[in-house]
């Protein structure tokens, strides 16, 4: 071989004595070789173990002869590339020499060419090599390591020519941090290429565990899992963690603090990745590092550049720790450790730019209907005046979708005084308290909100002419009515809400139909609940039946789902099973048209329908619907929904003769109610448990008293009147009379009329 060629460039790295076996990847590589594919491309960022994998594979290839061996079989050669190899003449000399090292038979034909002071045109030179290779019996595997250093387009063109005419006796292997300028799509479509990429090279949890064992580090399972997740299976990240752990007495503490700002990670990424980039790319990476996900338009909004798509394409082609999030390659994110490193660098070097970057991000996300992302960046500025405006603009959308935890997080992340001093924010927070069953706290906030509202109106900061004035005023009245209902003043609550109805229609001209539909949805829902609490189920039915049209019009599917569940419950208790089923199925049909996962509250309708089908003993569909509803409730994290599902499950299992499972369901509901401190839910659970166990509730458990109408019905029960006689005497429908009787039995914790009579006498009612 020509003495001017460095022998070390052809040296195959020695396999590591203790390395993790990558059987799944070796099988993939060997399969490509067995299928006579032309190329194996191993493309991933720095530190993913590309070279290590190829060395392991070469040592595992069956029937591989010793270097220089003459036997037919698989012969291998290695060429490590560097920046100097961008010269076409130098590259070709080394390229030809790699083949010559694999098989001495090529020596006579290529030696004179390699020693020549100049090379003929590359295609003609490759023609000579291709002809010689075509005549060979043995299979040659030629590895070009670190091909990403080759930037010269002439070399890429020459290699493309070689691949186009490559004989079956040759298999080319490229390891690279960036995709080469080769016809990869064509090779992929023709199944002429094996691809190993970053997601393939990531260590699995099992491989990570083996890695730490080989490093003589005894880590708990949760510690290994945490490091694997933190590094996203990045081999170098695991190695850096192992290096640091050798000098750390407390592994758990270290794992908690192992980030992209850790000195080992920082040194590696700074040296191996960042310093290799031009100034333009470094600035782009730094500025966009604040984004959890990004696309070209968003990056342009942040950086002020117009070529963001070109830079993203370049980053992806260069495998610069960038991960596509969709098949269209529109949205991307950075590898977590890489992103943390970039953020840490940005904070150290350009901390003053952070507020403006976060503001630009918030503005872009808000303009493009990504409210949660917008608020995330707004809170990071931080500018609470700006944050407050975004919360006010977005909370209803999130609330209507039933994503209560998000709305609560936004509101409770604001300074406490803001919630009391800003009527729009205070009203929003009170509605979250309502859903959580914290009715007493609503009253506390309403006093401060009303006082702040009156002061703002008096000083002209919130004039009567302001579009939001009437909305806030109505919301305060509605919330006070809610508090009154739960304090037992049901009649007063109904009176206040009914007085609001004419004022809602007056807003149509000023604020448009959307606000009007929102107002009617809230009022009709609350009137339905209030009349149900008063025992007037005809009126409750009437108002709950009006909710759907308005809720659909304003997109408040959260209220729609809750009202539907209550409406179906009333009809079911009145014996109107077919009507209850019809109500649920009609509203549930919406899920065929909407992005169902965006509206977890629909699980309440599934659960309500399951309850109805239990009454019909349609067990299969009931169980299927309940299963779907519980799955959505658990996934959404909405504990109230989950508790409601547990109660339906308890009733179902009780009806099916499975008392043990019913008791387990009740216990789960009780645990949930205790965790969210929802008194209303606790009362319902207590009543359900008592009804299923067919036992009376203790007197002190009767937290919710009988309404006036229920007291009248109870007196008639004590007098021995039938449901029809009760209906006639009180001038109500028989169905409403049945519902009253049902409620009385539940509140007394009994299962039938004789037990109710005995319980009432025991309590002295």
- CB-CB contact of 10 with 98 (8 Å): yes
Question: Could you give the CA distance from residue 462 to residue 459 in angstroms, rounded to a whole number?
Answer: 8
Q: Cβ neighbours of residue 491 under 8 Å, at least 6 residues apart?
A: 534
Higher pLDDT, 121 or 165: 165
For every residue of 620-646, DSSP letters joined together read: HHHHHHHHHHHHHHHHHT-HHHHHHHH
Other Cβ atoms less than 10 A from the Cβ of 251: the count is 21
Question: Could you give the CA distance from residue 439 to residue 680 in angstroms, rounded to a whole number?
Answer: 10
- CB-CB contact of 689 with 666 (8 Å): yes
Higher pLDDT, 121 or 155: 155
Alpha-carbon separation of residue 53 from 22, 26, 143, 200 (angstroms): 7, 8, 12, 11
Question: Could you give the CA distance from residue 216 to residue 632 in angstroms, rounded to a whole number?
Answer: 43
pLDDT of residue 272: 57
Phi, psi of 553 (to 5 degrees): -65, -35
Q: Is 614 helix (H, G, I), strand (E, B) or coil?
A: helix
Higher pLDDT, 252 or 630: 630
pLDDT of residue 762: 63
Q: Please check the confidence at residue 154 and state whether its pLDDT lies above 90.
A: no
Q: Residue 706's pLDDT band (boundaries 50, 70, 90)?
A: confident
For the ranges 38-42, 302-306, 504-508, 525-529, which has the lowest average pLDDT? 504-508
**In this predicted model, what pLDDT tens digit does every residue of 57-94 receive, in sequence order?**
998 886 544 444 444 578 899 998 988 788 888 888 88
Degrees to nearest 5, angle at CA 660 with 658 and 664:
120
Report the relative pairing of strands 322-324 and 332-334 from DSSP bridges.
antiparallel
Q: Residue 550's pLDDT band (boundaries 50, 70, 90)?
A: very high
Residues of the chain with pLDDT > 90: what percent?
23
Mean pLDDT of the chain: 82
For the ranges 169-173, 392-396, 729-733, which has the lowest average pLDDT? 729-733
Q: Residue 270's pLDDT band (boundaries 50, 70, 90)?
A: low
Q: Please check the confidence at residue 548 and state whether its pLDDT lies above 50.
A: yes
Q: Please check the confidence at residue 669 and state whether its pLDDT lies above 50.
A: yes
Question: Could you give the CA distance from residue 100 to residue 578 in angstroms, rounded to a whole number?
Answer: 85
Give the mean model confidence (pLDDT) for residues 369-398: 88
**In this predicted model, what pLDDT tens digit does every residue of 486-498 receive, in sequence order?**
777 888 889 999 9
Q: Please check the confidence at residue 674 and state whether its pLDDT lies above 90.
A: no
pLDDT of residue 609: 94
For the ranges 55-64, 235-244, 663-672, which has the lowest average pLDDT? 235-244
Give the mean model confidence (pLDDT) for residues 732-736: 78
Q: Please check the confidence at residue 299 and state whether its pLDDT lies above 90.
A: yes
Q: Residue 187's pLDDT band (boundaries 50, 70, 90)?
A: very high
For the ranges 256-265, 306-315, 728-737, which has the lowest average pLDDT? 256-265
pTM for this entry = 0.60
Give the mean model confidence (pLDDT) for residues 332-358: 84
- CB-CB contact of 398 with 407 (8 Å): yes
Q: Residue 163's pLDDT band (boundaries 50, 70, 90)?
A: very high
Q: Residue 620's pLDDT band (boundaries 50, 70, 90)?
A: very high
Question: Could you give the CA distance from residue 625 to residue 638 in angstroms, rounded to a whole number?
Answer: 18
pLDDT of residue 604: 92
Q: Please check the confidence at residue 117 and state whether its pLDDT lies above 60.
A: no
**In this predicted model, what pLDDT tens digit does every residue of 624-657 receive, in sequence order?**
999 999 988 887 777 888 899 999 999 999 888 8
Give the mean model confidence (pLDDT) for residues 397-420: 81
Report the relative pairing of strands 170-176 and 39-43 from DSSP bridges.
parallel
Give the mean model confidence (pLDDT) for residues 406-415: 86
Alpha-carbon separation of residue 51 from 45, 84, 286 (angstroms): 12, 20, 29
Residues of the chain with pLDDT > 70: what percent?
85
pLDDT of residue 598: 65
Q: Is 448 helix (H, G, I), strand (E, B) or coil?
A: helix
pLDDT of residue 246: 63
pLDDT of residue 348: 83
Higher pLDDT, 420 or 118: 420
Give the mean model confidence (pLDDT) for residues 116-137: 73
Picking from 189, 138, 140, 192, the residue whose alpha carbon sits closest to that of residue 164 is: 192
Give the mean model confidence (pLDDT) for residues 361-379: 91
**DSSP run (H or E) holding 78:** strand 74-80
For the ranges 361-375, 617-631, 720-734, which has the lowest average pLDDT? 720-734
Question: Could you give the CA distance from residue 414 to residue 387 in angstroms, rounded to a whole number?
Answer: 8
Q: Please check the confidence at residue 332 and state whether its pLDDT lies above 60.
A: yes
761: its two tokens: 């006498």
Question: Could you give the CA distance from residue 102 to residue 64 in angstroms, rounded to a whole number?
Answer: 11
Q: Please check the confidence at residue 696 and state whether its pLDDT lies above 60.
A: no
Angle between helices 557-573 and 734-748 (to 10 degrees): 100
Q: Please check the confidence at residue 677 and state whether its pLDDT lies above 90.
A: no
- CB-CB contact of 32 with 40 (8 Å): yes
For every residue of 553-580, DSSP letters joined together read: HHT-HHHHHHHHHHHHHHHHHTT-HHHH
Q: Is 318 helix (H, G, I), strand (E, B) or coil?
A: coil
Q: Please check the confidence at residue 252 and state whether its pLDDT lies above 50.
A: yes
Degrees to nearest 5, angle at CA 490 with 487 and 494:
130
Phi, psi of 679 (to 5 degrees): -65, -40
Q: Residue 242's pLDDT band (boundaries 50, 70, 90)?
A: low
Q: Residue 102's pLDDT band (boundaries 50, 70, 90)?
A: confident
Degrees to nearest 5, angle at CA 551 with 547 and 556:
135
Q: Is 140 helix (H, G, I), strand (E, B) or coil?
A: strand
Picking from 83, 107, 84, 82, the residue whose alpha carbon sits closest to that of residue 96 is: 107
Question: Could you give the CA distance from residue 103 to residue 70 in angstroms, rounded to a whole number?
Answer: 7
pLDDT of residue 71: 40
Phi, psi of 332 (to 5 degrees): -140, 170
**In this predicted model, what pLDDT tens digit does every residue of 415-441 receive, in sequence order?**
878 888 888 888 888 888 887 777 778
């Amino acid at each position: 071989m020509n003495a001017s060629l460095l022998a070390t460039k052809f040296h195959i790295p020695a396999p590591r004595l203790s390395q993790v076996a990558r059987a799944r990847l070796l099988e993939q590589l060997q399969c490509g070789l067995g299928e006579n594919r032309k190329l194996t491309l191993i493309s991933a960022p720095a530190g993913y173990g590309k070279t290590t994998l190829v060395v392991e594979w070469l040592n595992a290839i069956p029937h591989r002869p010793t270097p220089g061996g003459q036997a037919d079989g698989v012969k291998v050669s290695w060429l490590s590339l560097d920046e100097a190899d961008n010269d076409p003449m130098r590259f070709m000399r080394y390229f030809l020499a790699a083949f010559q090292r694999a098989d001495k038979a090529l020596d006579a034909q290529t030696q004179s060419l390699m020693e020549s002071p100049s090379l003929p045109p590359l295609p003609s030179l490759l023609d000579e090599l291709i002809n010689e290779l075509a005549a060979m019996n043995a299979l040659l595997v030629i590895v070009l390591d670190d091909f990403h250093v080759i930037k010269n387009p002439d070399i890429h063109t020459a290699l493309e020519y070689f691949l186009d005419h490559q004989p079956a006796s040759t298999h080319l292997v490229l390891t690279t941090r960036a995709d080469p300028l080769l016809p990869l799509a064509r090779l992929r479509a023709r199944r002429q290429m094996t691809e190993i990429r970053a997601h393939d090279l990531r260590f699995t949890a099992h491989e990570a565990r083996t890695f730490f064992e080989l490093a003589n580090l005894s880590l708990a399972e949760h510690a290994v899992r945490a490091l694997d997740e933190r590094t996203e299976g990045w081999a170098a990240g695991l190695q850096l963690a192992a290096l640091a752990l050798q000098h750390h007495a407390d592994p758990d503490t270290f794992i908690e603090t192992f980030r992209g700002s850790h000195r080992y990670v920082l040194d590696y990424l700074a040296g191996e990745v960042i310093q290799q980039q031009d100034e333009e790319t470094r600035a782009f990476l730094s500025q966009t590092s604040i984004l959890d996900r990004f696309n070209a338009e968003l990056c342009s909004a942040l950086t002020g550049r117009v070529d963001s798509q070109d830079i993203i394409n370049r980053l992806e082609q260069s495998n610069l720790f960038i991960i596509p999030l969709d098949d269209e390659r529109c949205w991307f994110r950075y590898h977590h450790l890489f992103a943390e490193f970039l953020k840490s660098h940005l904070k150290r070097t350009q901390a003053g730019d952070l507020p403006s970057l976060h503001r630009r991000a918030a503005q872009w996300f808000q303009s493009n209907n990504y409210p949660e992302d917008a608020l995330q960046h707004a809170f990071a500025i931080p500018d609470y005046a700006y944050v407050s405006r975004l919360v006010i603009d977005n909370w209803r959308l999130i609330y209507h979708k039933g994503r209560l935890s998000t709305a609560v997080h936004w509101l409770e992340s604001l300074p406490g005084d803001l919630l009391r001093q800003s009527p729009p924010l205070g009203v929003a927070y009170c509605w979250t308290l309502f859903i959580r069953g914290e009715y007493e706290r609503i009253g506390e906030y309403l006093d401060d909100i009303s006082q702040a509202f009156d002061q703002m109106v008096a000083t002209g900061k919130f004039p009567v002419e302001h579009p939001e004035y009437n909305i806030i005023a109505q919301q305060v009245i509605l919330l006070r009515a809610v508090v009154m209902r739960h304090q037992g003043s049901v009649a007063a609550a109904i009176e206040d809400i009914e007085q609001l109805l004419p004022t809602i229609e007056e807003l149509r001209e000023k604020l448009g139909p959307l606000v009007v539909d929102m107002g009617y949805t809230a009022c009709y829902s609350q009137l339905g609940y209030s009349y149900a609490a008063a025992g007037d189920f005809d009126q409750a039915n009437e108002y709950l039946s009006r909710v759907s049209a308005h809720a659909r019009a304003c997109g408040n599917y959260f209220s729609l789902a809750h009202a539907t569940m209550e409406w179906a419950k009333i009809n079911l208790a009145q014996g109107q099973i077919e009507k209850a089923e019809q109500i649920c199925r009609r509203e549930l049909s919406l899920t065929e048209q909407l992005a169902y996962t965006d509206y977890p509250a629909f699980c309440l309708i599934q659960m309500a329908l399951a309850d109805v089908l239990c009454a019909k003993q349609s067990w299969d569909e009931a169980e299927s619907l309940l299963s779907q509803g519980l799955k959505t409730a658990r996934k959404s994290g909405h504990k109230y929904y989950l508790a409601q599902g547990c109660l339906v499950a308890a009733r179902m299992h009780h009806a099916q003769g499975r008392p043990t499972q019913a008791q387990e369901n009740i216990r789960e509901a009780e645990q949930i109610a205790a965790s969210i401190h929802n008194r209303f839910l606790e009362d319902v659970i207590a009543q359900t448990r008592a009804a299923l166990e067919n036992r009376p509730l203790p007197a002190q458990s009767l937290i919710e008293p009988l309404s006036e109408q229920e007291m009248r019905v109870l007196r008639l029960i004590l007098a021995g009147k039938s449901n029809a006689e009760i209906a006639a005497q009180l001038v109500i429908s028989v169905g409403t009379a049945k519902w009253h009787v049902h409620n009385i039995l539940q509140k007394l914790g009994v299962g039938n009329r004789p037990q109710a009579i005995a319980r009432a006498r025991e309590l002295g009612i």
